[in-house]
């Protein structure tokens, strides 16, 4: 065996942290691959209208889940006090119930007033929204508690198990028609929680410890507005297209987003974590080395992103008909339109955390607000068709990414020149 490989395997066996890291990464990668690989099956069981309903459902649940614990789940890992960690975990699980009911009511109001296409859902759909939010938020909360307990193996199994359930349930429930898709999503989320039962906190003691929640009040006051804005900018495009162009068109966009999200999720997330840690280390030791590392990472990502973008541009319209079925040709066209954004997103987004290593992390809000304005363009500009609207949004988002990249280059220059004054890495 190669000595280098032998040493790597030996180190992996000795390091619980490395094994846990690979467990999480492996579970996440396999889970994402399963979800995307199931798409050709789902597109033959469900039509674009059903996929549009699914996109609306997931968009709403994702946005609501961001506020599901008021961001207290982030404090579970950050707190130095073990008792506070348990209290925050229990409190987050309880807060999630109230927030899920609150957002269930909001969803029903949107449905009753025929806003953003939510009128296509049956009257009882708000119950599924509540359960869906609980499935996501309880998963977030217990995942953070598992990180606190260094139970990385459980997290990997949870991620993979939940993905399997989210694939299997919609397939088995397809005889129910359109509703089978999002009912299956909810059941998959809830079934996945069973994997986390081993790290569930002890039931002894109060479940809603108000003094502890007040102690960590900065999390809902500071982190929640930013997180909500960011999620709205990411997930809002499907409801906007549903409102303007109909649920069927939103279904094609949902499929396109689901497929193109795979490389961004797998490659982008992994590179982002590594880049963030390495950049912080470089800043602590010699900030003048940071620009070279930054550009080296960008060029590597950019090369890969351009190759993927070219492939999507030329192959998506024709290949999508073969993979997903003839009625999904519009989804293939949407993938082609989003190809330039894929290149920009995969090249720049993983570097975006760099801004949190500067004294100006609030500048990220400028991009988030700009992105939110861009995705809302069809609401106040009368586009002739959905393709032209998506072209305008995609190119505008590329421009936003380029401006954000330029901003990061300026900050790099400032940090390099005045690092002794501006460096605020904790």
Give the pLDDT confidence score for residue 379 in this predicted structure: 94
Tokens of 109: 């109001």
Whether 324 maps to a domain, the answer reads yes
| Mean pLDDT, residues 308-337 | 92
Whether 5 maps to a domain, the answer reads no
- pLDDT for 354 beyond 90: no
**Number of residues written out for the chain:** 426
Whether 3 maps to a domain, the answer reads no
| Mean pLDDT, residues 344-354 | 87
Whether 356 maps to a domain, the answer reads yes
Q: Which of 45-49, 175-179, 265-269, 286-290 has the lowest mean pLDDT?
A: 265-269
Alpha-carbon torsion, ordered 177, 238, 352, 76, to 10 deg? -50
Model confidence pLDDT, tens digit, residues 38-53: 889 999 999 999 999 9
Is 323 in contact with 40 (CB distance < 8 Å)? yes
Q: Could you tell me if 296 and 221 lie in one domain?
A: no
Q: What pTM does this model have?
A: 0.82
Q: Could you tell me if 345 and 422 lie in one domain?
A: yes
Is 81 in contact with 148 (CB distance < 8 Å)? no
When pLDDT is cut at 50, 70 and 90, the band that residue 366 belongs to is confident
Q: Could you tell me if 56 and 140 lie in one domain?
A: yes
Give the pLDDT confidence score for residue 7 in this predicted structure: 54
Give the pLDDT confidence score for residue 4 in this predicted structure: 47
Q: Could you tell me if 410 and 335 lie in one domain?
A: yes
Last residue of one domain, picked from the residues 235, 265, 298: 235
Give the pLDDT confidence score for residue 315 in this predicted structure: 93
Give the pLDDT confidence score for residue 421 in this predicted structure: 41
Q: Which of 265-279, 298-312, 405-419 has the lowest mean pLDDT?
A: 265-279
Last residue of one domain, picked from the residues 169, 204, 235: 235
Give the pLDDT confidence score for residue 418 in this predicted structure: 63
Whether 4 maps to a domain, the answer reads no
Q: Number of folded domains in the chain?
A: 2
Q: Could you tell me if 180 and 213 lie in one domain?
A: yes
Question: Is the pLDDT higher at 93 or at 196?
Answer: 93
Q: Could you tell me if 274 and 174 lie in one domain?
A: no
Number of Cβ atoms within 10 Å of the Cβ of 37: 11
Model confidence pLDDT, tens digit, residues 283-319: 777 777 888 888 988 998 899 999 999 999 999 998 8
Identify the burial level of 13 via C-beta atoms within 10 angstroms of its C-beta, where 0-12 means exposed, 13-18 middle and 19 or more buried. Answer: exposed
- pLDDT for 68 beyond 90: yes
Q: Could you tell me if 195 and 55 lie in one domain?
A: yes
Q: Which of 168-182, 184-198, 268-282, 361-375 has the lowest mean pLDDT?
A: 268-282
Give the pLDDT confidence score for residue 54 in this predicted structure: 94
Give the pLDDT confidence score for residue 252 in this predicted structure: 95
Q: Could you tell me if 190 and 325 lie in one domain?
A: no
Last residue of one domain, picked from the residues 189, 214, 235: 235
Give the pLDDT confidence score for residue 12 in this predicted structure: 47
Give residue 131's domain range: 11-235
Whether 2 maps to a domain, the answer reads no
Give the pLDDT confidence score for residue 424 in this predicted structure: 43
When pLDDT is cut at 50, 70 and 90, the band that residue 8 belongs to is very low
Give the pLDDT confidence score for residue 397 in this predicted structure: 95
Give the pLDDT confidence score for residue 196 in this predicted structure: 85
Model confidence pLDDT, tens digit, residues 110-165: 999 999 999 999 999 999 999 999 999 999 899 888 877 777 778 778 888 888 99
Q: Could you tell me if 149 and 252 lie in one domain?
A: no
Give the pLDDT confidence score for residue 340 in this predicted structure: 96
What is the rounded CA–CA span in Å between residue 65 and residue 87?
Answer: 20
When pLDDT is cut at 50, 70 and 90, the band that residue 419 belongs to is low
Tokens of 98: 């109230």
| Mean pLDDT, residues 323-327 | 89
Q: Could you tell me if 249 and 323 lie in one domain?
A: yes
When pLDDT is cut at 50, 70 and 90, the band that residue 5 belongs to is very low
Q: Could you tell me if 221 and 321 lie in one domain?
A: no
Q: Could you tell me if 193 and 273 lie in one domain?
A: no
Whether 1 maps to a domain, the answer reads no
Whether 369 maps to a domain, the answer reads yes
Helical H segments across 67-81, by residue range: 72-78
| Mean pLDDT, residues 348-356 | 81
- 233-258 burial: b if 16+ Cβ within 10 Å, else e: bbbbbbbbbbbbbbbbbbbbbbbbbb
Give the pLDDT confidence score for residue 328 in this predicted structure: 92
Q: In the predicted model, what is the mean pLDDT of the chain?
A: 85
Question: Is the pLDDT higher at 229 or at 242?
Answer: 242
Is 53 in contact with 120 (CB distance < 8 Å)? yes
């Amino acid at each position: 065996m190669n000595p280098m490989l032998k040493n790597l395997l030996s180190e992996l066996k000795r390091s619980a942290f490395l094994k846990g890291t690979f467990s999480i990464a492996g579970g996440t990668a396999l889970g994402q691959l399963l979800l995307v690989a199931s798409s050709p099956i789902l597109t033959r069981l469900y039509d674009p209208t059903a996929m549009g309903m699914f996109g609306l459902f997931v968009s709403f649940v994702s946005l609501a889940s961001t506020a599901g614990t008021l961001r207290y789940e982030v404090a579970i890992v950050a707190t130095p006090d073990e008792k506070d960690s348990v209290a925050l975990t229990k409190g987050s699980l309880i807060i999630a119930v109230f927030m899920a009911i609150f957002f269930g009511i909001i969803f029903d109001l949107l449905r009753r007033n025929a806003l953003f296409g939510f009128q296509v859902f049956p009257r009882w759909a708000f119950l599924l929204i509540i359960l869906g939010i609980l499935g996501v938020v309880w998963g977030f909360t217990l995942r953070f508690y598992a990180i606190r307990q260094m139970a990385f193996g459980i997290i990997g199994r949870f991620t993979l198990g939940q993905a399997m359930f989210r694939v299997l349930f919609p397939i088995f429930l397809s005889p129910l028609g359109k509703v089978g898709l999002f009912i299956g999503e909810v059941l998959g989320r809830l079934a996945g929680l069973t994997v986390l039962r081993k790290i569930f906190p002890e039931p002894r003691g109060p479940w809603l410890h108000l003094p502890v929640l007040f102690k960590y009040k900065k999390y809902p006051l500071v982190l929640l507005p930013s997180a909500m804005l960011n999620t709205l900018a990411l997930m809002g495009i499907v409801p906007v297209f549903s409102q303007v162009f109909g649920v069927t068109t939103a279904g094609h966009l949902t499929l396109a987003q689901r497929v193109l999200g795979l490389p961004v999720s797998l490659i982008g997330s992994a590179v982002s974590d590594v880049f963030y840690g390495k950049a912080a280390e470089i800043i602590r030791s010699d900030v003048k080395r940071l620009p070279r590392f930054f550009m080296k990472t960008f060029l590597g990502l950019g090369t890969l992103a351009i190759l993927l973008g070219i492939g999507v541009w030329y192959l998506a319209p024709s290949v999508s008909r073969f993979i997903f079925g003839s009625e999904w040709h519009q989804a293939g066209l949407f993938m082609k339109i989003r190809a330039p954004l894929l290149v920009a997103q995969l090249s720049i987004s993983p570097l975006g955390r760099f801004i949190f290593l500067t004294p100006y992390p609030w500048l990220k809000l400028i991009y988030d607000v700009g992105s939110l304005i861009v995705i809302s363009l069809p609401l106040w500009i009368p586009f002739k068709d959905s393709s032209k609207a998506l072209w305008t949004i995609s190119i505008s988002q590329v421009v936003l990414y380029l401006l954000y990249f330029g901003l990061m280059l300026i900050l790099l220059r400032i940090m390099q020149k005045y690092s002794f004054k501006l460096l605020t890495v904790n």
